Every structure is written in structure tokens, then in C-alpha cells.
Amino acid sequence: MITERERLTHGLSRAQLGTRRFLAGLRLSSLAALISSVTIFALVLVSSVFITDSRFGRLLAEVSSTTHGWIAEQLVYPLLALGLMWLVFLRDGLRWKDLGWNLPDLVGAMIVTVLLWVFVQASVWMAGIAEGRPVALHFAWRGQEGAPLAGFGAQLFGNALTEETLFRGYVLPQVFLRIARVASANVALVVAFLGITAFAALLHVPVLVHEGGLTGEALASVLSWTAMFEAVLALVFLVTRNLFVRVGLHASWNAMPELFDAPGAHYERAWWLGVILLVSGWMIHNCLSSATRRDLCRGSGRSGTS
């Protein structure tokens, strides 16, 4: 039986947490809540793949068409899963903080997301100029089809928000804290990082097989890429400690509001470059900041001499 004091401290000292001291103060979730929340997400995700041709699926497709994509599958199903998971979280006595929802982080995340979008668009525009080809405004912004921000909005408030809340905001810290009770903080972090990354990637298999028709080497290749993407998002969490930054990055990758009519590969390269610069800059800031120098730089020095 876990007492309230143990639930708040995880039975770990700040020294045991090492450079992950920012996790101190989180409530340790029950194992039942952890399993239930992941199961709910998996069931809703898998079910959504197979009810596309059902009456509800066709109705949702019509609503999506009518609203020009503002109310779409990528918004409705994830929000359904998030609502059900939230009931589990509330019953388990978890707070917003325990799920990574630190509301003061919203402002910084909004700024980062906007700056990343501007950087990507500027990079694509400069690439077009460098290649000597005309850079035209994307057709969506010329009013020829749908709403350019609809897909991004559905991802931001639906798929990206739900997936990041579950895997990076909730499961990753909880798995780390549980393992750190019986192993070193470094071992716990590696196991949690790799385990959650692999599991999150494997959950995409039903979609890739049923909708994408992928099998064999093609499926393995996409899964490998998905695992890499999941790992990058987990790394962003460990560096920025901001769930909403990861939500913005995830949504912008899945449904970037493209300003210019350019090859998708240009947008992908610009996005990756932007993320690399973001993570690198944030790491430098953490090490130079007086508030975090003792937490990160000295912690790294101790682990290097042990």
C-alpha cells in the first residue's frame, strides 16, 4: 500500500532522481490506472480504423466535409479517448501537473510553435529562390479548397494533444518513477525511453496495415521511422520539460499549414532542421541558466565521474 507521502515523493530522494529532479512532486499513479489509460487509447485507436465504413464513420466523414475539416476523425476519436482516460485520471486522484499539463507552459509553447512555423515557411521560400523556381502561395490560402488551418487544428486539439498527454506527459514519467525505485535513475530513464518509444510506434500498426496496406519490409521501414519520430518527441520532453511544445511539434509535422506550394520534402527537411535548432538552443539555455546549471551541468559531471 502506497502512502500519500510515498506517492508524492515516490520513495526517491532528489539525489536518486539525478538530473530528472523536475519530476519531483508528481504523484505516483496506480498500476491499474496506468494500464487502463493505455488500453482505452489503444481500443479507441484500433476501433476507429475499422468503423470508417459504418454509419457513424460515414456521418463523421460528412461532418468533416461540411466543416471543411475542422471537425474530423483526427479530432473526434482522440478527444473521445482523452475524455475516457481523464475519468481514469480523476478516479486515481491525479492532477493536471501529473499529466504534464502545466498551464503556464502554454505561452512559451505557443511562441515556439509559431516561430517554428515561420522558420519552416521562410526556409521553404529561400529554398525555392535558391533553386530558381517560382514560389507561389499554396492553393489552400487562395481559397480554392477547404481551410488551411483545419487539419492543423484537428491535430493540435485532437490527435497530437491526446497522444502526447498519454505517452510523454503521463506514461513516460510514471514508468521512469516506478523503475527508479529499484534501479538507478539512468537505467530507469533508458528503459522508460526505449519502452514507451517502441510501444507508441507499434500502436500505429493497425492503421498502417488496414489503411496504408503496408506489409513486410515496407511496414518495418515505416515503423522504424515512426519509432525515431517518437524518440525525438520524447527527447524534446526531456530537454524542454514542456508538454505543449511537443504537442505543437507533433501537430505541425502531421498537418503543417503550408504557406507556399512546394515539394513536401522541402517542408520535412525544414521541420527537422527547426527541431534540431530548437533542442540544441534549449540545451544550451539550460546549461547556461543559473537556475538549472546545478541541476543539469553538475549532475552530468557527477555521473561522468562515477
Q: Model confidence over 74-92: pLDDT tens digits?
A: 899 999 999 999 999 999 9
Residue 303 bridge partners (DSSP):
none
pLDDT tens by residue, 203-221 = 888 777 776 677 788 888 8
pTM above 0.75, yes or no: yes
Q: Quote the percentage of the chain above a pLDDT of 70.
A: 84
For the chain, what is the HEC assignment? CCCHHHHHHCCCCHHHHHHHHHHCCCCCCCHHHHHHHHHHHHHHHHHHHHCCCCHHHHHHHHHHHHCCCCCCHHHHHHHHHHHHHHHHHHHCCCCHHHHCCCCCHHHHHHHHHHHHHHHHHHHHHHHHHHCCCCCCECHHHHCCCCCCCHHHHHHHHHHHHHHHHHHHHHHHHHHHHHHCCCCCHHHHHHHHHHHHHHHHHHCCHHHHHHCCCCCHHHHHHHHHHHHHHHHHHHHHHHHHCCHHHHHHHHHHHHCCCCCECCCHHHHHHHHHHHHHHHHHHHHHHHHHCCCCHHHHHHHHHHHHHC
| Per-residue confidence (pLDDT) for residue 205, from 0 to 100 | 81
| Per-residue confidence (pLDDT) for residue 1, from 0 to 100 | 42
Domain boundaries, the chain: 4-300
| Per-residue confidence (pLDDT) for residue 95, from 0 to 100 | 92
| Per-residue confidence (pLDDT) for residue 22, from 0 to 100 | 56
| Per-residue confidence (pLDDT) for residue 296, from 0 to 100 | 47
The answer to whether the CB of 225 falls within 8 A of the CB of 206 is no
- Judging by beta carbons within 10 Å of its beta carbon (0-12, 13-18, 19+), is residue 207 exposed, middle or buried? middle
Q: How many residues does the chain have?
A: 306
In this prediction, residues 143-155 reach a mean pLDDT of 76
| Per-residue confidence (pLDDT) for residue 55, from 0 to 100 | 86
Residue with cell 536518486: 16
Give the C-alpha separation, 13 to 27, whole Å: 14
pLDDT tens by residue, 127-138 = 888 887 777 777
pLDDT tens by residue, 239-290 = 888 999 999 999 999 988 888 888 888 899 999 999 999 999 988 887 877 5
The radius of gyration of the chain's CA atoms, rounded to the nearest angstrom, is: 21
The three grid cell numbers given for residue 247, joined into one nine-digit string = 504537442
- pLDDT above 70 (res 3): no
Task: State residue 292 phi and psi, 5-degree precision.
Answer: -120, 0
In this prediction, residues 100-122 reach a mean pLDDT of 93
Average confidence score pLDDT of the chain? 83
- pLDDT above 60 (res 115): yes
The answer to whether the CB of 204 falls within 8 A of the CB of 49 is no
Give the C-alpha separation, 49 to 44, whole Å: 9
| Per-residue confidence (pLDDT) for residue 157, from 0 to 100 | 94
Q: Cα 87 to chain center, whole Å?
A: 21
| Per-residue confidence (pLDDT) for residue 137, from 0 to 100 | 79
The three grid cell numbers given for residue 291, joined into one nine-digit string = 537556475
In this prediction, residues 161-179 reach a mean pLDDT of 92
